[in-house]
Amino acid sequence: MYILTADEMREMDRQTIETFGLPGRVLMENAGRGAVRAIFQTWPDIYTRSVAVIAGKGNNGGDGFVIARYLAQHGVDVSVYLLSSRDRLKGDAAANFKHLETLGITVTEMADALTFSRYKEQIAGCGLLVDAILGTGLDSEVRGYFRNIIDFINHVQSSVFSVDIPSGLHSETAIPCGICIKADATATFAFAKIGHMLLPGADYTGKLFIIDIGIPPHIVRSARPSHQLLTAAWILSLMPARSSRSHKGQTGHVLVAAGSTGKTGAAIMTAAAAMRAGAGLVTLAIPESINDVVETRALEVMTRPMAESEKGILGKNNTEDIISLLSDKACLALGPGLGTADTTRILVSDLIQNSPVPVVLDADGLNNLASNTGMLQKRRSEIILTPHPGEMSRLTGISTAEIQADRVAAARNFARTHKVHLVLKGARTVIAHPDGQVHVNPTGNSGMASGGMGDVLTGMIAGFLAQGILPENACHLGVYLHGAAADMLAQSRGPFGYLAGEVMDHLPDTINALISGTFTDTSHDCRPML
């Protein structure tokens, strides 16, 4: 499902109006009418409520005027509070404003704080407030009068419905511009915006309705949107097909280079997760001193104990052996629990540059890469990096706070620059590709904030790669199903306290639910409407 930037949406609107010939006023009419259907669906008792439409002077306000008109025509008690003077309205917004007085809808102009103060109590007494103040084009901090208005709305007891996007929410970073409306529901137009889907924006958006306003499909295709939301239907289409005659030699062999003294669990879970994702065979290359521990836990996995550069760790003297092991493998999972000794750093660098198969790099693999990301340009095969925000900070030299302030840009810029696939983990994981395409994952929950979850994801992505899935799709499958398995566990076990190994073990049930059609995607409340 496409999710758009404000610029992409504006361009589609422009082409629809100028080249297709559908007037902007018709688009506004479709938007307002669809939003009213969303209101009736969300609040079936709307006839028992009074509604206040709080409108700015731009097109967002114009959408609000159409909403007020349709509500009035359906017999709903509605009033409009204009945060401007009527003589400042222009274009389609001005045209729709004129209809309000014809229908006898009460309009109150509140162009300043003094006037607003006279109507606070009246507005607060309404059962539903329609936020039609600021639209998707906002990119600076909300200050002064509008800030006070938003703060007031957030503190009243009324339900709140936002038009297009909660006022104050940045449509691309999903970060409030100083302050933001906290909506119970939002109707957006044509497509969801990035800010609706990332956090914290999704929390401010509430239930999301996507209104079809008549953008022609050929204009959507010509715009080539660069952001998508992963959906269950899309993930199902990517699932590897398996013949009834398949055997383990046909479903891929993963090599995992991982583990060190005290970090055997990371290696074991990565290897086991690759098998849970469907890989036929997994070999685990580990320091020889931890082999006995690993063999007793990883029963389905083959181990290759390796001579140690230093006690309990792999290092540069293992490079040739690991490269040799890759001669009949489909991919390499590198990093979980490896450690960051100097000799291990050299090993990681050598493997990145010389692996003949795709590499999934995580944890200490990323930490060892951080001091020299330029080596990515020298690689032989495709690379998938799976950093959490802290690891991303070390890779880029940008603070974690800056990365979290614009996760999409951080992931996309790194993936483009280094020509890699990058999975920026966290709530609403962002997956960026070398061509600039970005996908947002809606599955997963806060119960995943525990040790070992990243090791499981690394193994899953490697397991899908081994089955011949393209690297970008292996990322999509691994990330979505990882979160979906955790969501199913949270429903049955509780919101937290389940373990990474349990998520891994629940993966076959999750895949089966997806294939059988019994999977319920509760990861995002997003409803397309005609």
Q: Kindly state whether residues 23 and 101 are assigned to the same domain.
A: yes
Residue 223 burial by Cβ neighbours in a 10 Å radius (0-12, 13-18, 19+): middle
Does pLDDT of 23 surpass 90? yes
CA dist 15 and 302 (Å) reads: 58
Q: Kindly state whether residues 211 and 308 are assigned to the same domain.
A: no
Can you say how many angstroms the Cα of residue 306 is from the centroid of all Cα atoms in its chain? 39
Mean pLDDT of 494-507: 97
Asked if 209 and 527 touch (Cβ cutoff 8 Å), the reply is: yes
Which amino acid belongs to residue 197?
Answer: M
- 405 inside domain: yes
**In the prediction, which pLDDT does 490 show?**
95
Where on the phi/psi map is residue 312: left (φ > 0), alpha (ψ -120 to 50), or beta? left
**In the prediction, which pLDDT does 250 show?**
87
Q: Both tokens of residue 160?
A: 């709140």
For the domain that residue 442 is a member of, what is the CATH number?
A: 3.40.1190.20
Q: Kindly state whether residues 324 and 217 are assigned to the same domain.
A: no
- Going from the C-alpha of 312 to that of each of 261, 287, 289, 335, 338, the distances in angstroms are 5, 6, 6, 15, 9
- 93 inside domain: yes
Q: Kindly state whether residues 81 and 119 are assigned to the same domain.
A: yes
Q: Kindly state whether residues 306 and 186 are assigned to the same domain.
A: no
Q: Both tokens of residue 526?
A: 């997003």
- 247 inside domain: no
Query: What percent of the chain is predicted at pLDDT more than 90?
Result: 94
Place of tokens 């006037």: 115
Q: Kindly state whether residues 217 and 272 are assigned to the same domain.
A: no
**In the prediction, which pLDDT does 526 show?**
67
Q: Where are the beta strands (DSSP E) in 164-308?
A: 185-189, 192-193, 207-211, 227-229, 253-257, 281-287, 302-306
Which amino acid belongs to residue 158?
Answer: S
Does pLDDT of 271 surpass 90? yes
Mean pLDDT of 344-363: 98
Asked if 163 and 93 touch (Cβ cutoff 8 Å), the reply is: no
**In the prediction, which pLDDT does 242 show?**
83
CA dist 165 and 149 (Å) reads: 16
Number of domains in the chain: 2
Does pLDDT of 504 surpass 90? yes
Mean pLDDT of 210-221: 96
CA dist 131 and 68 (Å) reads: 12
Per residue, what are the HEC states of 121-177? Answer: HHHHCCCEEEEECCCCCCCCCCCHHHHHHHHHHHHCCCEEEEECCCCCECCCCCCEE
Print the domain residue range for 503.
232-236+253-517+525-529
Q: Kindly state whether residues 270 and 144 are assigned to the same domain.
A: no
For 48-104, write each residue's pLDDT tens digit: 999 999 999 999 999 999 999 999 999 999 999 999 999 999 999 999 999 998 999
- 117 inside domain: yes
CA dist 145 and 142 (Å) reads: 9
Asked if 83 and 146 touch (Cβ cutoff 8 Å), the reply is: yes
Q: Both tokens of residue 117?
A: 């103060």
Q: Kindly state whether residues 133 and 30 are assigned to the same domain.
A: yes
Nearest Cα residue to 439 out of 230, 234, 231, 238: 230
- 246 inside domain: no
Strands 192-193 and 359-361: unpaired
**How is residue 234 annotated by DSSP?**
H
Q: Kindly state whether residues 80 and 210 are assigned to the same domain.
A: yes
Asked if 39 and 128 touch (Cβ cutoff 8 Å), the reply is: yes
- 245 inside domain: no
